[in-house]
Amino acid sequence: MKHISIYIAFTFLSVFFWSCGSGGCNIVPNVTFQITVTQGSHPNLYKPGGWVYADGGVCGLIVYNDGGNVIAYDRCSTVNIQERNRVEVNGFEVVDSASGAKWLLLDGSPAHIAECHLKPYRVSKTGDFYKIYN
C-alpha cells in the first residue's frame, strides 16, 4: 500500500512539474469587463468571416464571426506576456509582429512559434447585440 501511495504522489508531482516547465502555457491576466457590440457600431462583424477590434480585455479584443458563432480573443500575445505585445489580424491568421508568433483566427490555436491559444472570452447574443465579457 505504501508503494502505491508513493507511486501516485510521484506521478502527480511529475505531471505538475512537467506542465509548468518550458512547455507550460503563459497566462494572460484576468480582467473584469463587459462590452456590447452592435451591428451599427461594427457592421463587418455581422457577416461570416468578418472580424473587428474592440475595447476590453488586457490588450483589446479581436471579435470574429466564424459563420455560426461569434468568438472573442484577447489581443495580448501569449508569447512573452509580460511585454503585452498586441496581436493583429492578417488574413486568417493572428500575428505578433514582435515575436513572429501566429495563431489561427478560426479558433485561436497556435500556428507558429506560440505554444498557447489566444485567451478566449465569453460571448452571448441577445437579439442583434453581442455581449462580450470575462
Give percent of the chain with pLDDT exceeding 70: 81
Residue 133 burial (CB < 10 Å; 0-12/13-18/19+)? middle
Residue 27: per-residue pLDDT: 87
Q: What is the pLDDT of residues 30-81, one digit of tens each?
A: 999 999 999 989 999 999 999 999 999 999 999 999 999 999 999 999 999 9
Split at pLDDT 50, 70, 90, the class of 26 is: low
Residue 115 inside a domain? The answer is: yes
* CA 4 from centre of chain: 39
Instruction: Write out the DSSP string of 48-95.
Output: TT-EEEES-TTT-EEEEE-SS-EEEEESB-SSSGGG-PBPEEETTEEE
Residue 19 inside a domain? The answer is: no
Residue 89: per-residue pLDDT: 98
pLDDT at 23 > cutoff 60: no
The model carries a pTM of: 0.80
pLDDT at 9 > cutoff 80: no
Residue 13 inside a domain? The answer is: no
Q: What is the pLDDT of residues 108-130, one digit of tens each?
A: 999 999 999 999 999 999 988 99
* CA 88 from centre of chain: 13
Residue 128: per-residue pLDDT: 87
Structural domain containing residue 70: 29-133
Tally the domains of the chain.
Answer: 1
Domain containing residue 79: CATH number = 2.102.10.10
Residue 11: per-residue pLDDT: 37
